[in-house]
Structure 1
């Protein structure tokens, strides 16, 4: 039997963050990864044409760059460096106009001013509001719930009135927030397009905070990419872990959590081997897979099992990568310098697009999120060319007909052709990842869902992944949920992994660990029985 202080299930970025923090504490750590590669959805590869590097899943990392978790790991010492496109993002309207965010505040203001007099100053004011609370907000987002220390710091900064106004802003839809902050469509769309990086519609409560967060992070930091591709984040995390004695075993899917007297004792893998965890098991896998497949109903309270039936995935995704033998021929040159381009809809178009998803229909006019990777990092393809990707959402289904996916890719390319005539003739290679392809490459992307579960307000904070504590602790003692299914959810920021590692360390402390166990068990009894 293999033994380690901690067994970490999954070498996605959250699993690797958790493993690194436990190794920093002096624990022996074994990471078991089901696939041949580390990184989960943070990987790069050559899938379109020779010399064209693609970020296979996630790309552009404002949350990763700003995250105190990732910064604390000092991955620059292990080869990670960052770069930015000239512009952060551009939203192209159907009528050809463009709203652009640039790290230079005056440049952004000038773009927003074109849509309504005064919106430039209104953008500055919104950014000032963000800067007043940004560090405390990131602390609130990236620490376990409840965020006591960061929350108190935020309350001291804002006082009672400011805290109440911020609380109101956090529950607004992005349509309502945009209309309150700005007069013109440009700035409103800059927020709305950012909000639709999640699975929320422009009308849903809580969507405004995502738009505000991503847009203002872009203003403050840009939306950086790793030099050399997304894989560099993973490579740095792996190198850091191995330098501290941690190990990763690949092609080793975990099938069962070994439980005795209500405590996680280790895991069993598909090859029949048992792996003993002396102190903790941490799982960077989706919540349904952990609880229903690996733990089993025997060790779950009845109400817990019932609540899991209402767990909701985020939408499915279709992602296309292209190798282009020149720069994209945008009608509006404002898009040429942006790392990220939003295209295919104005605000009402975004609502119609989201409505099709809500009623389980394939949107006839897809909204695209597009990345110009060579514009952001010239190492992605030969000089004068572009490695580009775009993705769009579909309703969450486990099975899609190949013909349906092919037809939707044609719709995506039609949107691109409308905004960049001649694009299709310049393509020298293409790769399509359907929802099933995404799940095959990374089993955590169930049905092509990127966020580990919906970002809707009913499945956030202490409601994530189900009503509970909002913490990584599970009904099985010494077993911790370390994936995007846990608070604070999706995105490459490492917080779920860090929260799980901190919880494991707290549970293991000699003097207070038993008190921690008793408190968590008591809370679970109150909630689930």
Structure 2
């Protein structure tokens, strides 16, 4: 690639090895979404990815045996199915096919009873009513409310902050009183919401278990956002998966992008964003090659990586760097993938129909698990989120077999040697075994990823954090990644944060990438100069020197 060049203080006339309209750092799904939107606008786009693979945490590999296709990190994509961003890209034209399990989700209690979520409303109502006959009608009313608000609500949640147009649409849908009650509901701890709405544990556990797909426990303020949202999405669109593996979603994004003439280059890490005069001019890669960006640089990397590693400190406001010291990661993750000789032999056969399974806590158990995480303790009885992938998509493994996985959260900062990790995964398997006697006898091979493994395999999963930073209220909206604008713009002109560290955060919906692309397009549009002055003024007020 040539001899490394000095990159300390490039000027606007810097000699470049390549010149494009925009450089996107990182080919995770957000980076690919951003690149697609820029390419749709006619921009010449280059995506540079440090690993050998596109997709970031959206990836499939044969981790155990040939023919067993495992989703290495993320697996189920309800938010992808409803995201206006993902839907607008019409990825079905580029090979994406969605598949569903017979049932969406089962929450298994210690006594083997299970609350089942189905796409069939009446089937879900029957399940929650088995815990208390009064709950079926409440569930129906909740779903009716969801149907009324889902489109403007999703637009509001996924749009740049503040979501003025989406909020106005939402207010036109609801009365003022209804809007206030909805806001209160979403701000509540999910256990309080479940207790207020429902009488039996079935519906309450569906809400609380789904909230724990984030790092928020049942008593955390705002955990209802995630519990209610994921539960209603499961009722509405299910928890779909791409046929053949999660990587099918990333492949469709990359294929679409290449048809627009953009380039994606893997195994080419960016080491520096080049800045002069307060403006991003391009990047330098690990080989010393300089790539000039005429219009924008978009970074699909964690905020600490962008600001601490890719930009020299003197280019950034000292207050921003100080605020970044308080950036909080979400919990770390331990994940095990199994190649099984047959389906999991659940004591409750209904559980075998669900793509996603929560094991095996009641509400008090979920609260203990969350409290242990909050206090830095490795949970004694961790809640497991388990995926039955061949049940969901028969292409994942040979006929008669099953691909399955389970993960759980553990505290950040814990040291995991191989023996400690092995013993912890044995404990996870024991939890499955007590609800599915004979399960461990069906394990042909297993593959384990501890927090450090996740970070090494996918650098954006820092310390095994899978959501790009905590979902707690103090690091959402205008506080993500630090107190600021809640937008993709950074204090450096024409540099945009496009990762899950930006609003609206983690999950595979493409919103951070789309918001960054929209900001870049606005900056270079007809009113681009005015937009740039406005953003510079806003950042000057936030980060006075």
Q: 516, 528, 532: which is aligned to 1:500?
A: 516
Secondary structure of 1:153's aligned partner: helix
Cα distance per residue 1:369-402 (max 9 Å; x no partner) = 0000001000011222110000000001274222
Matches within 5 A, 1:175-324: 175-324=191-340
Name the stretch that deviates more: 14-23 or 153-162.
153-162
Partner residue of 1:35 out of 33, 41, 51: 51
| Match 2:359 to one of 333, 343, 367 | 343
Q: Which residue of 1 aligns with 2:537?
A: 522
- Separation of aligned partners in 2, 1:403 and 1:397: 17
Question: After TM superposition, what 4+ stretches of structure 1 lie above 4 angstroms from structure 2?
Answer: none
The CA distance in 1 between the partners of 2:421 and 2:540, in whole Å, is 45
1:394 aligns with 410
Q: 1:466 aligns with which of 467, 482, 504?
A: 482
Deviations 1:65-113 (A, max 9, x none): 1101000000000000101100000000011110000000000000000
Is 1:81 equivalent to 2:97 in the alignment? yes
Cα distance in 2 for partners of 1:399, 1:486 equals: 28
Residues in 1 aligned to 2:43 and 2:414: alpha-carbon distance in whole angstroms? 39
Alignment check: 8 A CA contact 1:98 1:186 kept: yes
Question: Given that residues 100 and 238 in structure 2 are in contact (C-alpha distance below 8 angstroms), is that contact kept between their aligned partners in structure 1?
Answer: yes
How does 1:97-112 map onto structure 2 within 5 Å? 97-112=113-128
Match of 1:140 in 2: 156
Partner of 2:494: 478
Contact 1:299 1:475 in 2 (8 A): no
Q: Does 1:94 align with 2:99?
A: no
Q: Which stretch of structure 1 is more off in the superposition, 13-22 or 269-278?
A: 269-278
- Look up the match of 2:506: 490
Match of 1:427 in 2: 443
Cα distance per residue 1:283-326 (max 9 Å; x no partner)? 00000000111112212112211110110000000110001111
Where 2:446 maps in the other structure, the secondary structure is strand
* Distance in structure 1 (CA, Å) of the matches to 2:442 and 2:176: 57
After superposition, the CA RMSD in angstroms is 0.8
* Contact 2:107–2:360 under 8 Å retained in 1: no
Q: Which residue in the other structure is 1:450 paired with? A: 466
Question: What is the CA–CA distance in structure 2 between the aligned matches of 1:458 and 1:141, rounded to whole Å?
Answer: 16
Inter-partner Cα distance in structure 2 for 1:428 and 1:30:
42
Q: CA deviation at 1:334?
A: 1.4
Name stretches of at least 5 consecutive residues in structure 1 with no aligned partner.
none
Cα distance in 1 between the residues matched to 2:280 and 2:326: 25
* TM-score normalised per structure 1: 0.99
1:98-132 deviation per Cα after TM superposition (whole angstroms, max 9, x unaligned): 00000000000000001112111111111111111
Once residues 180 and 127 of structure 2 are traced to their aligned partners in structure 1, the CA distance between those partners, rounded to angstroms, is 31
For residues 423-450 of structure 1, the C-alpha deviation after alignment (integer angstroms, 9 at most, x for no partner) is 0011101100111111111100000000
Cα-to-partner distance string for 1:338-381 (whole Å, 9 max, x where unaligned)? 00000021111011011111111110111100000001000011
Name the SS for the 1:146 alignment partner. coil
Local SS of the residue matching 1:295? coil
Provide the C-alpha distance between the structure 2 equivalents of 1:398 and 1:423, rounded to a whole number of angstroms.
Answer: 29
Aligned counterparts of 2:78 and 2:422: Cα–Cα separation in 1: 31
1:438-466 CA deviation, whole Å, 9 max, x = no partner? 11111000000000000001100111111
What is the match of residue 345 of structure 2? 329
- 1:404, CA displacement in angstroms? 2.0
1:440 to 456, 466, 469: 456
Give distance in 2, aligned partners of 1:299 and 1:115. Answer: 59
Provide the TM-score with structure 2 as the length reference: 0.96
- Following superposition, the deviation at residue 496 of structure 1 comes to 0.3
8 Å CA contact retained: 1:23, 1:246: yes
3-state SS in 2 of match to 1:472: coil
The separation in 2 between residues aligned to 1:431 and 1:401, in whole angstroms, is 15
